[in-house]
Chains A and B, each alone.
Chain A
Amino acid sequence: MEHLELFFKSVFVDNMVFAYFLGMCSYLAVSKKVSTAVGLGAAVIFVLTVTVPLNWLLDTYILQEGALTWLGPDFADYDLSFLSFILFIATIATMVQLVEIVVERFSPALYNSLGIFLPLIAVNCAILGGSLFMQSREIETFTLALNYGFSSGIGWFLAILAIAAIREKIRYSNVPAPLRGLGITFIITGLMAIGFMSFGGMLTGGDEPVEQEAQSAVIIENVEEEKESAVETAVSEIKN
């Protein structure tokens, strides 16, 4: 259940592109054709699925405060978390290099169509963002981190697939000249993000109204109590 919730939350509610604008650069640059978008999206899913759990291990066993306890009691109060940026990005750069080699070997066509953007996955904010969010949200277990990486990747994939499809269609529309290309893409993404905000109620929908009702009930009770006590004091004053 925990896993399912995290999955839906990362794909829809906390979508990398629409809620946090991560990976926008490649999202805007590679979304002109659906086929290249799918390739890049798949690469992002793969790299995120590998790097987030790897960085989780690094974070838990090396970087966090007290994480080095396994080395012996002397290391218990080390806090290396200031090194997390550099270690995370090193992991990511290495993994991207690996993916590049594998893709070049097994799918030269995909390698050619991705062109410069494959090395740029290393500087795709969605990848580092995934690891940093994993750290700042204190995801508890290894499998949850794996799930988080994978589902964030899926979310990013969905976003770039959708915008690429829209951009292929919009080529035939009469967009005002200054808005053509980049401008209209920004605005469409904004509108899509508004659409995705409606997913926000998906996981919290059942809980919040109840709380609010309870709160307002408490407020009403308080008000009534105040009224009663005011009446009582007034009555007693009159008696006196």
Chain B
Amino acid sequence: MGLLSKKDSKLILDPLADNNPITIQVLGICSALAITAQLKPSIVMAISVIFVMGVGNVVISLMRNVIPSKIRIIVQLVVVATLVIIVDQVLKAFAYALSKELSVFIGLIITNCIIMGRFEAFALGNGPWRSFLDGIGNALGYGVILIIVGFFRELLGSGTLFGIKVLGDPVEKSGLYAIGYENNGFMVLPPMALIVVGLIIWVQRSKNKALIEEN
């Protein structure tokens, strides 16, 4: 990246893998799990979070010297809530069906711990540009996990991607279904999201031994 210095690009790239907000920092899991039964809501959620985090981090970073530290949580919540209202209204206007499907989980971006966590840990102590990169990086790390989970759950659970039947038609017995393949209906149910994330953590930590926790 010619545009960014090495230090800056580290801000974006670190959260994608070795310091991933979901699998390492354990932040923002609530919304990550509930909406990943399909790929499309996962991507919309990821984009919404990228927007809220990028803008929110910049706003907080600009205000960091004037926020009294005693009421900073309320100030942060107001900033996030305002941004989330914008996202919610935009979704309601341009993708009504999708916003119905995501129901309360758009609202729950407000209490997404990644956002508050990054405000506290980064934006309050750094300049706007670096905070922006940090916000985008962490939101991307969150989005990557969301998309991986959504991909596997939709593919294995309903045999589709973005609603397109990629494995053939289960009713007409075409494609893979012709040789006896069955959808794993279990993948669509909420508990499987937890188990899929657990497996992702397993894979990631077997690759990178440094991340293994003490018991």
Contacts and interface: CB of A to CB of B under 8 A. Distances in A.
Given A25-B26, A127-B111, A128-B110, A186 B191 contact: no
Given A178-B212, A183-B198, A123 B104 contact: no
A25 B212 contact: no
A203 to B, nearest CB: 18
6 closest A-B pairs by beta carbon, nearest first, are A181-B213, A186-B198, A190-B194, A178-B205, A193-B191, A190-B195
A180 interface: yes
Given A124-B111, A186-B195, A129 B33 contact: no
B113 A21 contact: no
A93 B73 contact: yes
A18 interface: yes
A154 to B, nearest CB: 19
Classify the interface of chain B: helix, strand, loop or mixed: helix
A142 interface: no
B89 interface: yes
A81 B113 CA distance: 24
A24 interface: yes
Interface residues of A, number: 51
A179 B73 contact: no
25 contacts: A18-B190, A21-B34, A22-B34, A25-B113, A84-B107, A85-B81, A85-B84, A86-B81, A89-B77, A89-B78, A89-B81, A89-B110, A119-B73, A123-B112, A124-B111, A132-B104, A178-B201, A180-B213, A180-B214, A180-B215, A186-B195, A186-B198, A186-B201, A190-B195, A193-B194
B111 A19 contact: no
Interface string B115-133: 0100000000000000000
Interface of A: 18-25, 28-29, 82-86, 89-90, 93-94, 119-120, 122-125, 127-129, 132-133, 136, 171, 175-187, 189-191, 193-194, 197
B194 A187 contact: yes
B201 to A, nearest CB: 4
B108 A179 contact: no
B103 A136 contact: yes
B199 to A, nearest CB: 8
Contact of B29 (A28, A89, A90, A181): A28
B192 A123 contact: no
Interface in B86-117: 88-89, 103-104, 107-108, 110-113, 116
